[in-house]
Structure 1
Amino acid sequence: MVDVTQTTEAQDAARDVAAEVPADAQEPQVAGRTEGRIHRAWYVAAVTFVTILGAAAFRALPGLLIDPLHQEFHWSRGTIGFAVSVNLALYGLTAPFAAALMDRFGIRRVVALALTVIAIGTGLTLWMTAAWQLILYWGVLVGLGSGSMALAFAATVTNRWFTEKRGLVTGILTAAGASGQLVFLPLLSWMVTEHGWHPAAITVALTALAVVPFVWLLLRDHPADVGLAPYGAEEFVPKPPPAVGAARRTVKVLFSAARTGPFWLLAGTFAICGASTNGLIQTHFVPAAHDHGMPMQAAASLLAVIGVADVAGTIFSGWLTDRFDSRRLLAAYYSLRGISLLFLPMLLVQGAGDVRPPMIFFIVFYGLDWVATVPPTLALCREHYGEDSAIVFGWVLASHQVGAAIVAFLGGVARDNFGSYDVVWYTSGALCAAAALMAVVIRKGRRAEELAVTAA
């Protein structure tokens, strides 16, 4: 016979458990069981994409300001490059702490505050009269704000909302920054050329502010907030409690990861990635092309073309990352990037100020490889560091921006002392070859080895 008392107690316990779960979460939706509806994770990814897209305006501006600020204030290119390098360094060093702060206070609060700081820092540059103010406003304030909007933001969203197609989603979100460059570079270059740099700075500040309500109203911190399981998950995942001691945890994760070889190889390769993209091309391509007689708007349009190609290249890289060995992908990306940089000085001289087909080919080729390194690098972080992968990736991203900062500064110094950027192009090409070799020797993570054994 069935014990009626035990049955009743079991039913009461089940009701108590159900009461503790949000109403929408009692029947969580998982991939393949949404009855034809699009999973909410894709809407969150779309909001994140648009947010990064709008915030990319301030990333497009520094390379356009070197010549105007040099002419107006008579500051050396090395001084202006130092302000940009502070921005890039803080962009990277803030990222791992921002990932931990998102675990503590939520994604919405951190991102909304970051956009506000960016708007304040950019707006204050309108009243600057000394170089230290440029370093403080654009270097420190915008650097801190942009660091909180770095790729660790995309990594956190991907880790929380997706268990499948993470490589593809990472590629899409990474491409958002390049898309923002595509949208804003031609407009900002036209403003700087026709009306000076002040209207461009105002546009960047207003754009950052305009994104704040969009983030606050539409972005959600975790699938459990709306009663859903992550995309691809087979069961509901409760929202973890806020993580206390964000700074302590961030530093602890760094010390733990620093005891492993893959961390230093990933950090080294990504430092070279930043040096050859944000620090080199994004900061110095426009003034370098201008040295050879190319109008600023034409050079800025070429950078926008890099943004077009980067969208396709990064998304495709995410698709490849879901299917092939990330280490081999990184080796291929860095090798091709290094080879292309060795041809750039010749293309600038032959162009003599004109935009010719070989230069367009270089721009498209370089754009396809611009941040294609992000999806496989993030995948390797997941393989080796699991739940801490977003914070570890934040530290790896810090090395990316430190590399970018060094080249942004040294590139300006090289231009002041040698009269050209040729030595910078050749050195960066050699560094990319070293990064390809470093990528090859990264060992497989424990998770990848377990999946290989299971598949066998």
Structure 2
Amino acid sequence: MTSPTPYRWIIVGLTLVNQGISIGILVYSFALFVVPWLETFGISRGEIMVAIFLMQLLGGLISPLMGRFMDLYSMRWLIVGGAIAMSTGLFLSSWASDYWQIIALHGLLLPLGMALCGTLSSQTLVGKWFTQGRGLAIGVSAAGTSIGGFVFPLITAELLGQVDWRTTLQILAAFTIAVMVPLNLWVLRIPPPDVELLLDAPEPLPHERQWAASDILTTRMFWIPIAGLLPMNISFAAIQFNLGAYVADLGFSQTTAAQLISIGALSMIVGKFTFGGLCDHVDHRFLFWIMALSLTGALLLYQGSPGYSALVAAAVLHGISTGGVMPMIGNVYAARFGTLSFGKVLGFVNMFTMMGSFGSLASGWLFDLTGSYDVVFWLLLLIQIPSVTIMFWLPPVPAKRIVA
């Protein structure tokens, strides 16, 4: 049998690719299609945001079921199925004659692609292959979303400058299926090792247990991190998916929007490595408070009519803060619930944190009502207050789960 120690880092590399493609296209590149869709379909910004809101919301709602499947069945075929669903959804979107068709595909096929190829499957894979050094591994894995967020907006912006949005979607669909299907079939031909083989040092194995859904949903270990991190997800959705329209209002081009998205994505890589590595050694509450402080700085910079330098600084601070969310989620829950039910636990987590996608819809509606995004930024600042406060009561990591 292949030794789990080196091969598990190949698994981390695979999750980098999976998240880079799925999140880079479905999440980070969405903002660049907003202006072309506004012109093609003649609808409001609030209506445009229904598609991304629905994809994230339904992706979250199916996450508990998908997480359960990941604990029970071959992740190889689940991820391949997700890649096919994503590619098909992108291709069919390119043929849409009315915006409701794009909304339907964002509610049917694309949530499957995001759930089965994105963060849920990637963190579950890493959780099944790692016990020691899990914080660093999750941080490295989570960087895949930011790498995708850096690369694909630039590619998408270039494609949109050369061809129309329909052809751009067809190219992205072809790339998705050509890369993800064969790669996952090959790498995931080797299943995760038994949990005893995950140790790479002669230390006792942390106590593991199977968590029932009722036990998961009735412990504060589950709810407090959600209450703390949900506002950050709301802020990410509110800013990320409206960024193309926001910078257009400020007089900048969509090339500038793509640059800001990519700068934010690079900053998220810094956040993911930093917070992921520190999760093994530092109180999770302190790390969260640092993330909240960085987000506050970004929201203040976005206010009013910022120039290019202020927008870049805001993108950096926003990227660092939201970059820590995924490694924090993976480490906070793996450290407190273990690995045997990690897919199930993370599925429930995603179901609730994906409600942050409401931020994209609400911000679009608020702009339609007020003609400005400033009220959005002030509201995002206000909801940080209860989230920062509630994290004080986060239970510590059980002594038997300290595996760094």
TM (norm. structure 1) is 0.81
Q: Where does residue 12 of structure 1 map in the other structure?
A: none
- Do the aligned partners of 1:88 and 1:402 also contact (CA within 8 Å) in 2? yes
How far, CA to CA, are the matches of 2:287 and 2:229 in structure 1? Answer: 13
Q: Where does residue 442 of structure 1 map in the other structure?
A: 394
How far, CA to CA, are the matches of 1:253 and 1:292 in structure 2? Answer: 50
Q: Where does residue 285 of structure 1 map in the other structure?
A: 243
Q: CA deviation at 1:398?
A: 2.0
How far, CA to CA, are the matches of 2:348 and 2:117 in structure 1? Answer: 14
1:186 matched to 2:154: yes
Ranges in structure 1 where 5+ consecutive residues have no aligned partner: 1-23, 32-38, 238-248
Which of 270, 281, 303 is the matching residue for 1:345? 303
How far, CA to CA, are the matches of 1:156 and 1:434 in structure 2? Answer: 29
Q: When the two structures are aligned, how many residues end up with a matched partner? A: 397
3-state SS, counterpart of residue 222 of structure 1:
coil
3-state SS, counterpart of residue 229 of structure 1:
helix
Ranges in structure 2 where 5+ consecutive residues have no aligned partner: none
Which of 273, 287, 301 is the matching residue for 2:259? 301
Q: Where does residue 366 of structure 2 map in the other structure?
A: 414
1:275 matched to 2:234: yes
Deviations 1:143-184 (A, max 9, x none): 222112232212221222112110001011111011011111
Q: 301-310 or 55-64: which moved more?
A: 55-64
1:398 matched to 2:351: yes
3-state SS, counterpart of residue 239 of structure 2:
helix
How far, CA to CA, are the matches of 1:329 and 1:370 in structure 2? Answer: 12
- Do the aligned partners of 1:280 and 1:408 also contact (CA within 8 Å) in 2? yes
1:311 matched to 2:275: no
Q: Which aligned pairs between 1:33-182 and structure 2 lie closer than 5 A? A: 39-55=6-22, 56-182=24-150
Q: CA separation of 1:451/1:370 partners in 2, compared to 1, >3 Å: closer, same or farther?
A: closer
1:336 matched to 2:294: yes
How far, CA to CA, are the matches of 1:94 and 1:148 in structure 2? Answer: 10
1:320 matched to 2:272: no
Amino acid at match of 1:185: P
1:232 matched to 2:200: yes
How far, CA to CA, are the matches of 1:390 and 1:223 in structure 2? Answer: 13
Q: Where does residue 215 of structure 2 map in the other structure?
A: 256
3-state SS, counterpart of residue 143 of structure 2:
helix
Amino acid at match of 1:267: I
Q: CA separation of 1:403/1:221 partners in 2, compared to 1, >3 Å: closer, same or farther?
A: farther
3-state SS, counterpart of residue 131 of structure 2:
coil
Deviations 1:205-245 (A, max 9, x none): 112202111111122453449x993252659x9xxxxxxxx
- Do the aligned partners of 1:90 and 1:147 also contact (CA within 8 Å) in 2? no
How far, CA to CA, are the matches of 1:329 and 1:440 in structure 2? Answer: 12
- Do the aligned partners of 2:238 and 2:360 also contact (CA within 8 Å) in 1? yes
Identity %: 23
How far, CA to CA, are the matches of 1:229 and 1:63 in structure 2? Answer: 43
Q: CA deviation at 1:90?
A: 1.7
Q: CA separation of 1:125/1:313 partners in 2, compared to 1, >3 Å: closer, same or farther?
A: same
Q: CA separation of 1:253/1:62 partners in 2, compared to 1, >3 Å: closer, same or farther?
A: farther
Q: 411-420 or 92-101: which moved more?
A: 92-101
Deviations 1:329-372 (A, max 9, x none): 112212321232122123xx142xxx22x322222222122221
TM (norm. structure 2) is 0.91
Q: 267-276 or 179-188: which moved more?
A: 267-276
3-state SS, counterpart of residue 369 of structure 1:
helix
How far, CA to CA, are the matches of 2:13 and 2:73 in structure 1? Answer: 22
Please report the RMSD computed on the Cα atoms of aligned residues, expressed in angstroms. 2.6
Q: Where does residue 212 of structure 1 map in the other structure?
A: 181
- Do the aligned partners of 1:161 and 1:231 also contact (CA within 8 Å) in 2? no
Deviations 1:286-335 (A, max 9, x none): 21111110101111111101111111220111111111011221122123
Amino acid at match of 1:222: P
How far, CA to CA, are the matches of 2:280 and 2:87 in structure 1? Answer: 37
3-state SS, counterpart of residue 62 of structure 2:
helix
Q: 359-368 or 302-311: which moved more?
A: 359-368
- Do the aligned partners of 2:301 and 2:311 also contact (CA within 8 Å) in 1? no
How far, CA to CA, are the matches of 1:362 and 1:421 in structure 2? Answer: 15
1:388 matched to 2:341: yes
Amino acid at match of 1:395: F
Larger Rg: 1
Deviations 1:42-77 (A, max 9, x none): 112112212222223222222112221111111221
Q: CA separation of 1:336/1:61 partners in 2, compared to 1, >3 Å: closer, same or farther?
A: closer
Deviations 1:351-406 (A, max 9, x none): 2xxx22x32222222212222122233222123322323322222222221112x1
Amino acid at match of 2:295: R
Deviations 1:262-283 (A, max 9, x none): 3222222232121111x12220
